[in-house]
């Protein structure tokens, strides 16, 4: 049962009372959410850790507070994070590849090779050099 206009406290109490009488009295109150990635198994949820009555501009509202902040995904930030994740994967791949080659080269050559491979993947900030 859903309400497009939301529920009042009294309506929610009636619904929760009904669920409790049907054996769900010890179940946790949670809020489902989309974490932005595919998952298998139970639905991703946030636990409700508190509730409070609104004041001032939020008068006539009751807030359910999840155990962690909820925010809208910013597509620009998501794109930046995906790019950074891709760059990190490339750096880790190069580091792993360097690890396989390291027995054949002295340490200073390994460092130089690693720096050149990292610089090829990630353009450093102007005037900033990688140091061993």
Instruction: List, for residues 39-87, the tens digit of each pLDDT value.
Output: 778 888 999 999 999 999 999 999 999 988 887 767 777 788 888 888 8
User: Is there a contact between 67 and 47 (Cβ–Cβ < 8 Å)?
Assistant: yes
Rounded distance between C-alpha atoms, residue 88 and residue 82, angstroms: 10
pLDDT digit string, tens, across residues 7-35:
999 999 999 999 999 999 999 999 888 77
pLDDT digit string, tens, across residues 108-125:
776 777 777 777 665 555
Q: What is the pLDDT of residue 43?
A: 87
Tell me which residue of 49, 79, 76, 74 sits closest to 64, measured CA to CA: 49
Q: Where are the beta strands (DSSP E) in the chain?
A: 30-32, 45-53, 62-66
> Higher pLDDT residue, 35 or 132?
35
Q: What is the pLDDT of residue 103?
A: 57
**What are 76's two structure tokens?**
């620009």
């Amino acid at each position: 049962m859903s309400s497009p206009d939301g529920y009042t406290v009294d309506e929610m109490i009636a619904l929760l009372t009904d669920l409790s009488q049907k054996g769900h009295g010890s179940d946790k109150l949670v809020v489902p959410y989309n974490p932005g990635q595919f998952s298998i198994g139970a639905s991703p949820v946030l636990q409700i850790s508190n509730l409070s009555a609104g004041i001032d501009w939020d008068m006539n509202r009751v807030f359910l507070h999840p155990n962690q902040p909820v925010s809208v995904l910013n597509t620009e930030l998501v794109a930046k994070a995906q790019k950074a994740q891709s760059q990190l994967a490339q750096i880790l791949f190069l580091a792993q590849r360097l690890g396989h080659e390291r027995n054949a080269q002295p340490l200073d050559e390994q460092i130089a090779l690693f720096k050149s491979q990292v610089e090829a993947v990630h353009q450093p900030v102007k005037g900033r050099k990688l140091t061993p």
